[in-house]
Structure formats: structure tokens, C-alpha cells
Structure 1
Amino acid sequence: MSEAGSPVNQQKEAPLDIQGLTVAYQKKIVLSRVSFSIPEGKLIGIIGPNGAGKSTLIKAALGLIPRLDGEVRIYGRPYAEQRKLVGYVPQRESVDWDFPTSALDVVTMGRYGHLGWFRRPGARERQIALNCLDQVGMADFAHRQISQLSGGQQQRVFLARALAQDATLYFMDEPFAGVDAATEKAIITLLGQLKERGKTVLVVHHDLATVKDYFDWVLLLNERVMAIGPTEEVFTREQLQITYGGRLAVLDRDTEAFIPRSR
């Protein structure tokens, strides 16, 4: 791409730069002066306790919820100017799966950003959507109503839609939550493929035992940024204990696996 606003023209800009982001729900501060910048081509896990503001961070970055203060830049420009560069996989629980549409239609929606306001998706867009469904093992379910799919299959449909967007920066909100083994494998494969293609992916993630296997970088969040950087440097007992406020148990000292303690 060579048009204004493309990654080529802005190759020195960070895929995502957030400065001073503050968000509140009913006067309760959820995110406070969050600031960070991430490098390109990394798989980044957003890690923190329940209520830390992880999903809120993604929604605020995408303009889905209002922010009290702060600035969000995608390759140096506001998100509103860079929508074509961004893909989003929401929490499965936040989607109305009873809406009468097929898996293929859902994935084809991911092409709308490339078509503009006055063009309807045609044969080319539907073929791209089919190819994306095939990449996540869902091609045989293309014409199945989404309400008839299992939870794991529904999640893979949304992953395929993100692929169809052909984005440069991806946000995924708990894609591994409650999925079956086949879907987990599909997500891991997809993350690897996106990394190979130079994409940048931020993932809200809860399973601390798999963080080192899945992510290059980690953002530790608890209302504010506690730490951010390469996984081997940031994902440590000390940093996790600080992030979780002492509500953390070490499962296996040899593998350094962790689980949050109950409140």
C-alpha cells in the first residue's frame, strides 16, 4: 500500500501508541493514565486480575466506549482514520448469536471496510471469506446458521472474520475462553500465521500457564500499566505478585506456572 495512512508511509510509527488513557464506569476509575507503545510484528498478551480493565482497554482503543482522557494512535493516526488496518475479535459472550445469519455472511462482513459505503460484497469477497473459514477449519459450516454452531465453532467464525479484514493490527478479547481443544489449536495456529505475516496482535488472556508459550510480549495491567515488555523479562513471579496484589499462587516452581488466588 502506498496511500496516505498506510503502514508503508508510517513504518516508523508504532502499530499502537496509547498515552494517558483514563476510563471510568459510573464515576469509578477503571483505567488510570495508561500509557504504552508496542513494536510491530509481536504477539502480545494482556494479563491481569479480574476487573483490571483488560477488555476496557481494547474497547476504549477501538472507540467502543468513551474515555475521560488520553490519546490512542494507530500507526501515528487516530483510530477513526485507520479502521482498515485494525481487526477485532470480541468476547463470544458479547455477541448476539441468535441473529439469523450464516457463518459465511459473518465472515464476509469483515470485507466491508475494503469496499466503501456504496459497494456490496461480490463473488471475490465471498471467496476470500470462504478461504478464511477454511483456514480455521470451518469451510464445511459456511452456510450453517451461527445459532446452530457450538461455542468453539462460533469463536472460529469470528477468527475467520478477523482474517477476512486483512488487518495489520489485531485485538482479540479472550479468544481462548471456554473453547474446545480443536478451537484452541486453531487459535494457536492462527496466531503463528499472523506473526509470520508481520501482523501485530494484542490478546486478552487469563491462562497464566500458557503465556510463555503463546506470547512474545506481555502487558501486565491492573487499572494502570504495571509492566510491559518481552515475555522473558516481564512475566516473572515478582511482577505477577505486584500485578495481582499478592493474590497469586505458584503452581509449579520448575515450570513457573501461576494461578490467581480467589479473593
Structure 2
Amino acid sequence: MPPLREVIARHGLSASKALGQNFLFDEQLLDRIAAIPGSLEGKQVLEVGPGPGGLTRALLRAGARVTAIEMDRRCLPALAEVEAAFPGKLKVIEGDAMKISPADLFDGPYAIVANLPYNVGTALFTGWLSGEAWPPQWSSLTLMFQEEVARRIIADPDTSAYGRLAVLAQWRSKAKLAMKVHRSAFTPPPKVMSAIVHVEPGEAPEGVSMRVLERVTEAAFGQRRKMLRQSLKGVPGALDALEGLGIDPQRRAETLSVEEFVSVGRALTRK
């Protein structure tokens, strides 16, 4: 295929700030990203926000069968060229990934690999993590975020980055920082550095409702500077759960481990 820069110039494309777009042209870098999930030969992959198709090409070169969701109509002709170059391997869906359920697109396991648009990346990520059914249909998530967001996902307790995102990502999954990507790799260069997080589903602790855990973490970290006795007083039964578990209500949310949050969630789920 022709170089991506040539394709973009020919179609008069430019990255849309409103859509949180930043384009990657370096094929070696894109191939490294596509290699993070392991072998993709013959596997189904969901890509969100492919833009002109740089990462899409890398995934297809790796042997994946790609379903890509793109809401920017300007990019569809460039993606059609990729589709023609890899017959039967790429399906492009025009639409908003926030409104499309991946379960409706696949009849078996799939991996998600995406350079997520900055403006919806966190919302998409938490949505993919939040299903009650576990293990999920996706086999892994390989996602590019702003580095600050990536560090919040993998953060340890008692650090400034630790919060609701870390608990939701780690309580039944394994999350790691797979690669940093310098801002200069993008066109146009964003103001911040980026990083790729790789997440694989783990074993879900028994007796915990995702909905309950989300409510607890939202309340606890919504007022993270306050003691738990203040931040959790609006969650029925939470203070009793802390007492029953021997967790000091004068502690702050960021000091609780993922396991302690799970214990609180389990106690409330039972109630």
C-alpha cells in the first residue's frame, strides 16, 4: 500500500481536535503496538477510531481479522483502500463506538486494540470493564491513552494516581504499562505523552457485584480528601461494612487496597 502520509494528503485529511484525533505514521512503531497482545493470526480484533488506518494496517499485517468503528466520514475512503488491499479481512462500521456494543459484532472471542480518541477513551475503557458477566467476551485490551490516564489505570494504593480507575481495572483483571509513546510520534503532536496499557481478564472474586463496587468506589474517590466515614456515609450499609471488616473509617480512600475495596463490595452485595 502507499505510505499513509501520501494517502492522507491525497484525501485532504487532517486530525480533528473535536474528535480527539492524532495520527501515527511510523509503521515500525505501529507493528510493535500490534504485537503487544501476542499472535493475532486469524483472530478477531476490534479497533475503535482507526482514522486513516495506520494501526489497522499493522493489525492486518499481523494476520488479524479486523472490525473497525469510525465516526469520521472523512476517513472512510482511506479505510476503503485498506479494505480493498486486504480482501475479506477488514470490516468498517461507520458509527459512534459509545453507542455500539461489541457483543453485537462478534460471535466469539475478540481482542480490542486501539489508539483511543482522547475525549472518549476513559469512558469506553470503563464500559468494557464493567460487565457483570465474567470472564468477558474480549480476550485482552491493548489501548493507548494519555500517559497520565495510563498511570491511573496501573496505580498502586497510597499514590496520587490511585483511584477508582485503578480499582475497576485491577479487581478482576491484570493491567500493565506495555509501552510509552513520545508525543513527537504523532501528527499533530499532542501536548502530552501517551502510553499503551495492556489488560487481560483475571479471575473474578466471588460474591461481589460490579454495580455495588462501582458505587462504593465512586463515593469513596468522589471525595478522596475526606475520611471514609464522610465519603461513604451516603452509601447504605457501607459504614457498618467497614466496622465489620475492621477497616478504620478515619482512613482515606487512596489508602485502601483493591482487595479491601472488594471486601467492602462483597459485604454490601450480601446485604
Q: TM-score, with normalisation over the residues of structure 2?
A: 0.30
Greater relative contact order (CA < 8 Å, ≥ 6 in sequence)? 1
